[in-house]
Amino acid sequence: MTVTDQAGAAARQSASPTGGTPAPAQPAAVDPAAVDYVHGVARRARVASRRLALLSRADKDAALLAMADAVDAATGQIVAANAEDLQRGRDAGMATGLLDRLTLDDDRVHAVADALRQVASLPDPVGEVVRGSTLANGLQIRQVRVPMGVVGMIYEARPNVTVDAAGLALKSGNAVLLRGGSAAASSNAALVAALRSALAERGLPEDAVNLLSEGGRDAARALMTARGLVDLVIPRGGADLIQTVVRESTVPVIETGVGNCHVYVDSSADVQSAVDIVVNSKVHRPSVCNAAESLLVHADVADRVLPALLAALAAEGVTVHGDDAIGDAARAAGADRAYQPIADGDDDTEFLSLDLSARVVGSLDEALAHVQEHTSGHTEAIVTADRAAARRWVAEVDAAAVMVNASTRFTDGGEFGFGAEIGISTQKLHARGPMALPELTTTKWVVEGDGQTRA
Amino acid sequence: MTVTDQAGAAARQSASPTGGTPAPAQPAAVDPAAVDYVHGVARRARVASRRLALLSRADKDAALLAMADAVDAATGQIVAANAEDLQRGRDAGMATGLLDRLTLDDDRVHAVADALRQVASLPDPVGEVVRGSTLANGLQIRQVRVPMGVVGMIYEARPNVTVDAAGLALKSGNAVLLRGGSAAASSNAALVAALRSALAERGLPEDAVNLLSEGGRDAARALMTARGLVDLVIPRGGADLIQTVVRESTVPVIETGVGNCHVYVDSSADVQSAVDIVVNSKVHRPSVCNAAESLLVHADVADRVLPALLAALAAEGVTVHGDDAIGDAARAAGADRAYQPIADGDDDTEFLSLDLSARVVGSLDEALAHVQEHTSGHTEAIVTADRAAARRWVAEVDAAAVMVNASTRFTDGGEFGFGAEIGISTQKLHARGPMALPELTTTKWVVEGDGQTRA
């Protein structure tokens, strides 16, 4: 619900008592030097994008493999640059989890390079004929995938995203502007230098891959408002980052990744499946968007499921923020140390931690109504043995992914077999769910005739 | 390039010196009563949309046929209501062309009803499996088309759009909020009354089809900013209307229909084809977005093409706004009465009249560069007998439709065989080119398993 192409930031900044139309591209409050810098990079990227759009798959794959080799060859410099970032991070008191995401060692650099080789092995989305026909008048029409043009990525201090995004953009024929977290500045500079040198060696435009290294936060805002120069901005990171981009961008945005995912254990659920799926959905990787944040249990199965489930969650260190019925069950199961009463807002909280809101519901209808009210439109799962309940869940829940008897953790481009993932869209326009190469393209209609005119 | 989900209008209106985040849904400058009215209608539409999403094709088609019959049966009231609108229009000095578009007689009402029968005959986009597979772990995944939810239409005084939009929305499982031009208020009220009565008779929610008849312009602005209540707004009409919606909407928008379409006559063009295609593209229906507005002629073919072409355009009453070479040719062809020198801005003007900008270019490269600079991304045509030129045109021109040896007038949902058209998108996100039923849907991923968890 949040593709954006808004004049938000610009409008807020240039609003005046006379109510004149703002100039979206150069809001007054953004440092003009940052705007000039970003627009200059974007213009060069656009020139590069016209060449990229015409490259064959063979040319793009060869470039991707050369980029992978260049990253491998530069491992020493990259790890050294990363060490500078890590030192600054430690000095600034960066949290352990963030430091871990920032860290590159030899193995991780090699994994990053291998991801480019993986992208090279994927089919080229450009040129795919989506549909086509020959009309009664003999005109041949076909809808063909073509690159978007220039794509901006705004993300946090995760250097692997730099390389993933560059690889996916190149494969889909797009030039890319990378605005990574400043805490990864040295790592990103070393990585992008390797990528650009590989492009130059293959006679391809270096400006296919651009790191926005100057201008601080104003550069990010200039990127979001470079309408006409940038075709699409994808934010990737936490909810705050995403909402800021969605709110302030005048360039079209694809919203990614906030997930208040539910698991509903239906009255007919298999108890072991319910325990396995809820535990896996919650604890397999609690910090990501497809982790479960809310549990709903049908009252008819609560006595059978909750003892084992609450004990298993407690054993994994999960704190269950539950209603009174959950509390009673937790005490009965001896899992009350892991229980606390559900608080206002817990139903809508994406904890991203070993916390889970939980309620007992009286019916499938009640579960559906709860999900309808609290879903973030990411992933919603039912555990059931009942065919009718499964069919209602699939039909009535409005989310990017609806699951029957499977962990919410499966909503993922890699798991879906896409081979790569640029993010998970939680909006309805253009892309919904895991996004990979086709989602970085648009289409054009090609119409071929022999002089046809309309009667 | 203009899907919008912006906080533009809201932001402008609520901007304050303290720079607080605006509340997009209720900008201060919009009449609160209009906001209440529109939000109330939108909430009822959302409730209705949940039922619509679950209807079978048979139910929807039966409803569409009942709606068609109801329109036919109400012909007398509809024509009488239309007469009121026409009288008000004449009293207000409405232009002849607009009065014609507003007019409904018995035959036109019947045509409007028949359009609903046509929509009934089209395949249901909802439930279409776009792609799917069985993963290595046994999970079955499929991407399925589902309705958007609640769609808003903002358009001018063309009563047929009211019925077309209602029919397409219903067929695609969406509830619709219709904000038509106030000049058609009585006609629209009569039409929507007939449509709603047919829905009620079939036991379906009347709130599937809603006319925003109150609140004046503030109702349109409340609709554009009803984020969370409305999933998509489609503006349909002139460039001013579209740009206003794109700029002010906080709800996602699909930009439609501005077309500065070019025809390029290549050096190898067949002379008769060139004349036929240029004339047809320009004069077949000059007031619409797929009419040609700019002509480019390769210098090597100018002497052969221009005499016949300029004479033919003059005979059709076209004024050619040309460069000096065109002027010389016009004088030589005795067509100088239809020539005037090209003025600043003509290259970028969507005339929507019997006017055409025209230039002689020295090469295909020059033509491609000109189109790259001046295209609105709608439809761009080449007339050529040269295969390489055709392939370069198709590959290098960045537009919703690229044509070889065919009139620009073919960019149209009806001509493409879609059976209906809700507009022509000139943006890159979600939909590009003629939009019909599939473009009114989004997708969801359905994942079915047997207890799978992630390792």
Report helix, strand or coil for B54: coil
**CA–CA separation, A408 and A278 (whole Å):** 9
Question: B6 in contact with A at a CB cutoff of 8 Å?
Answer: yes
**CA–CA separation, B236 and B245 (whole Å):** 10
pLDDT at B334 over 70: yes
Angstroms from B246 CA to nearest CA on chain A: 8
Enclosing H/E stretch for A447: strand A441-452
Predicted confidence at residue A154, as pLDDT, reads: 95
Q: B320, B327 in Cβ contact below 8 A?
A: no
Q: What is the pLDDT of residues A8-24, one digit of tens each?
A: 333 333 332 232 333 33
Predicted confidence at residue B362, as pLDDT, reads: 98
Q: How confident is the model at residue A1 (pLDDT cuts 50, 70, 90)?
A: very low
The reply to whether residue A410 touches residue B4, judged by beta carbons under 8 angstroms, is no
Angstroms from A93 CA to nearest CA on chain B: 30
Tell me which residue of B274, B271, B273, B269 sits closest to B295, measured CA to CA: B274
* Cα atoms in the Cβ-side hemisphere of radius 13 Å centred on B108: 16
- What φ, ψ does residue B232 adopt, rounded to 5°? -165, 140
Mutation pick from A2, A3, A397 vs chain B, by most beta carbons of B within 10 Å, is A3
Q: What is the ipTM of this complex?
A: 0.89
Quick one: angle between helices B57-73 and B106-121, nearest 10?
170
Question: B252 in contact with A at a CB cutoff of 8 Å?
Answer: yes
Q: How far is CA B361 from the centre of its chain?
A: 32
Residues 6+ apart with CB under 8 A from A311: A333, A334, A335
Predicted confidence at residue A243, as pLDDT, reads: 81
Segment 75-94 of chain A within 8 Å of chain B by CB:
none
Quick one: angle between helices A299-315 and A271-283, nearest 10?
50
Q: How confident is the model at residue B2 (pLDDT cuts 50, 70, 90)?
A: very low
**CA–CA separation, A422 and A161 (whole Å):** 9
Instruction: Point out the least confidently predicted range of B16-20, B57-61, B432-436.
Output: B16-20
Question: B388 in contact with A at a CB cutoff of 8 Å?
Answer: no
Q: What is the pLDDT of residues B109-161, one digit of tens each?
A: 999 999 999 999 999 999 999 999 999 999 999 999 999 999 999 999 899 99
Q: How confident is the model at residue A248 (pLDDT cuts 50, 70, 90)?
A: confident
**CA–CA separation, B320 and B343 (whole Å):** 11
pLDDT at B167 over 90: yes
Say what the pTM is: 0.89
Percent of chain A with pLDDT over 70: 94
Question: A226 in contact with B at a CB cutoff of 8 Å?
Answer: no
Predicted confidence at residue A63, as pLDDT, reads: 98
- What φ, ψ does residue B214 adopt, rounded to 5°? -110, 170
**CA–CA separation, A423 and A403 (whole Å):** 19
Locus of tokens 């995760």: A158
Q: A398, B148 in Cβ contact below 8 A?
A: no
Name the pairing type of β-strands A441-452 and A140-147: antiparallel
Which residues of chain B are within 8 Å of residue A448 when distances are taken between CB atoms? 390, 394, 403-406
Report helix, strand or coil for A27: coil
Q: What is the DSSP string of B394-436?
A: HHH--SSEEEEEE-GGG-STTTTT-S--SEEE-SSSS--EEE-
Averaged pLDDT for residues B192-216: 96
**CA–CA separation, A156 and A85 (whole Å):** 13
Token pair recorded at residue A236: 């990737």
pLDDT at B1 over 90: no
Report helix, strand or coil for A236: strand
The reply to whether residue B276 touches residue A453, judged by beta carbons under 8 angstroms, is yes
Q: B10, B24 in Cβ contact below 8 A?
A: yes
Averaged pLDDT for residues B219-233: 92
Q: How confident is the model at residue A3 (pLDDT cuts 50, 70, 90)?
A: very low
**CA–CA separation, B339 and B147 (whole Å):** 50
Q: What is the pLDDT of residues A59-113, one digit of tens each?
A: 999 999 999 999 999 999 999 999 999 999 999 999 988 899 999 999 999 999 9
Predicted confidence at residue B234, as pLDDT, reads: 92
What is the CATH class of A261-410?
alpha beta
Domain at A8-248, CATH from 3.40.50.261, 3.40.640.10, 3.10.105.10, 3.40.605.10: 3.40.605.10
Query: Rounded mean pLDDT of chain A?
Result: 91
Domain edges within chain B: 8-248, 261-410
Instruction: Point out the least confidently predicted range of B59-63, B293-297, B400-404, B426-430.
Output: B426-430
Output b/e per residue, A196-213; b: 16+ Cβ within 10 A. Answer: bbbbeeeebbbbbbbbbb
Question: Across chain B, how many H-helices and E-strands are there?
Answer: 15, 16
Of residues A16 and A263, which shows the higher confidence score?
Answer: A263
Residue A56, judged by CB atoms within 10 A of its CB (0-12, 13-18, 19+), counts as exposed
Rounded to 10 degrees, the C-alpha dihedral B120/B121/B127/B132 comes to -160
Nearest by CB to residue B450, choosing from A4, A405, A450, is: A405
pLDDT at A27 over 70: no
**CA–CA separation, B24 and A12 (whole Å):** 12
Which residues of chain A are within 8 Å of residue B11 when distances are taken between CB atoms? 6-8, 11-12, 15
**CA–CA separation, B31 and B219 (whole Å):** 8
Segment 279-338 of chain B within 8 Å of chain A by CB:
279-281, 284
Top-ranked range on mean pLDDT: pick from B8-17, B24-33, B273-282:
B273-282
Instruction: Tell me the helix, strand and coil percentages in chain A, rounded to 5.
Output: 45, 20, 35
Which residues of chain B are within 8 Å of residue A406 when distances are taken between CB atoms? 139, 447-449, 451-453
Predicted confidence at residue A445, as pLDDT, reads: 98
pLDDT at A6 over 70: no
Predicted confidence at residue A14, as pLDDT, reads: 30
Which residues of chain B are within 8 Å of residue A409 when distances are taken between CB atoms? 453-454
Name the pairing type of β-strands B292-298 and B261-265: parallel
Segment 43-62 of chain A within 8 Å of chain B by CB:
50, 53-54
Q: What is the pLDDT of residues A140-156, one digit of tens each?
A: 999 999 999 999 999 99
Segment 167-196 of chain B within 8 Å of chain A by CB:
none
Secondary structure letter of residue B23 according to DSSP: -
Q: Which residue of B has its CA nearest to A393?
A: B446
Predicted confidence at residue B109, as pLDDT, reads: 98
Q: A420, A436 in Cβ contact below 8 A?
A: yes
Question: B11 in contact with A at a CB cutoff of 8 Å?
Answer: yes
The reply to whether residue A8 touches residue B6, judged by beta carbons under 8 angstroms, is yes
Nearest by CB to residue A454, choosing from B1, B146, B284, is: B284
**CA–CA separation, B160 and B158 (whole Å):** 6
Q: Is B352 left (phi over 0), alpha (psi -120 to 50) or beta?
A: left
Nearest by CB to residue B1, choosing from A11, A228, A279, is: A228
Q: Which residue of A has its CA nearest to B130?
A: A130
Enclosing H/E stretch for B308: helix B299-315
The 3-state secondary structure of A126-166 reads CCCEEEEEECCCCCEEEEEEEECCEEEEEECCCHHHHHHHH
